[in-house]
Amino acid sequence: MPRALVPHEAIERKIFLIRNHKVMLSNDLAELYGVESKRIIQAVKRNETRFPADFMFRLTWEEMKRLRSRFVTLDNRSIESIPNHDLKKRGQHPKYLFYAFTEQGVAMLSSVLRSSRAIQVNIAIMRAFVKLRQMLSAHKELAEKLNELEQKVEKHNGEIGAIFQAIRQLMAPTPAPPRKKIGFR
């Protein structure tokens, strides 16, 4: 099997959950495709009808701030890893808001970008999305099984508690029968 152009681990790290969608950012896609991010945005703008809101959306400044803090804390990745043409000055905030592409948007992007590298990278990205979906499905099944087990344990805890209570009652000394009083009444 030929070596992948981009390792799937590198692609998986570039998939984020934003607005309840698994997305890839325009600057990350540009890096993978080996082009400037403004080329991707130009291609998208020339083909706007191919990119409805569920395929692509523009991030807000608040989302950009959250991503920036996530880059620094989680991935040991700083804003400096964003290509220079996206920055006012190296190490400062991005000049433009990034675009977020859903899985369908990335697939549509491959029809707009026609280089052989774009095709190969796009195949790798689609495989990463499929692998991510499979992992999420496996985690969902595991979570369901864990919930079932937890319910069984709770049920068994109640039953075990009843058994202990019955044992304690059996271990308790039986009260002596009441004795007759001695003397006159």
Q: Is residue 164 part of a domain?
A: no
Q: Is residue 58 part of a domain?
A: yes
**Helix or strand holding residue 93 (H, E):** none
> What is the total count of domains within the chain?
1
**pLDDT tens, residue by residue, 125-173:** 888 888 877 777 777 777 777 778 777 777 777 778 788 788 778 777 7
Task: Tell me the residue range of the domain where 114 lies.
Answer: 8-138
Q: Is the dihedral of CA 76, 28, 12, 4 positive or negative?
A: negative
**pLDDT tens, residue by residue, 66-87:** 887 665 544 444 444 444 444 4
pTM across the whole model = 0.58
Q: Is residue 157 part of a domain?
A: no
Q: Is residue 3 part of a domain?
A: no
